Amino acid sequence: MKGKVRIHLVDSCYQLHSLSQYEFVHPVQRALERAGSSCRICHYTTVDEESLEGCDKVVLCGTALKDNAYLDHLDRYRWLEKMARPVLGICAGMQVIAALFGGEIITRPEPAIGLERIDVNRPSSLLGPCREIEVYHLHSHDVSLPDEFLSLAGGDEAPEAFSHRSQPIWGLMFHPEVRNRWILERFANL
């Protein structure tokens, strides 16, 4: 019998055990556990290659709208550059992935908050076929598309979702734990 998929959730909130963990990490954990995975939560300040041993996949969770402390500590995520396991970055997590792989983090003139319809413009194992979906935004930064990545939704200038061309790395600018939990289930089952 196949064992549970073990997923390491990286909390990128400003401090260990912050209240933001209940809004941005625990809902991801609940969705993945309902999909049959087991999850372990670690703060980004404590993650390294050794702490990731025994996990099958990694999710970089989002943060609160004005919580940008992780941007001052991108070096704490360097382990991602050598990661061979599937990785999903949600909002702040997508920003981290973009920055580490040569993209830019771009401050928006106004925060993006609420439901919006976006176009999935490239079929993928994570988002499925091309179509329009409704997503929930809560972010004050966009990213540029790194060279080795493909836009899955939105445009190349401000992708809503992307994937690495050859590695199992995906990013979402929106929050699937709020709307579209099926995306988290698909990631767990990839």
Q: Is 91 noted as a catalytic residue in this protein? A: yes
Q: What is the CATH number of domain 6-189?
A: 3.40.50.880
Q: Is 50 noted as a catalytic residue in this protein? A: no
Instruction: Render pLDDT for 113-136 as a digit per residue (tens, 0 to 9).
Output: 999 999 999 999 999 999 999 999
Q: One of 39, 43, 61, 177 is an active-site residue; which one? A: 177
Residue 178 CA neighbour count, 13 Å, CB half: 20
- What is the pLDDT confidence band of residue 2, given thresholds at 50, 70 and 90? low
Q: Domains of the chain: which residue ranges?
A: 6-189
Q: Taking the model in full, what pTM does it have?
A: 0.94
Q: Is 148 noted as a catalytic residue in this protein? A: no
Q: One of 8, 43, 137, 175 is an active-site residue; which one? A: 175
State mean pLDDT over 75-79. Answer: 93
Q: One of 42, 91, 141, 160 is an active-site residue; which one? A: 91
Q: What is the pLDDT of residue 1?
A: 35
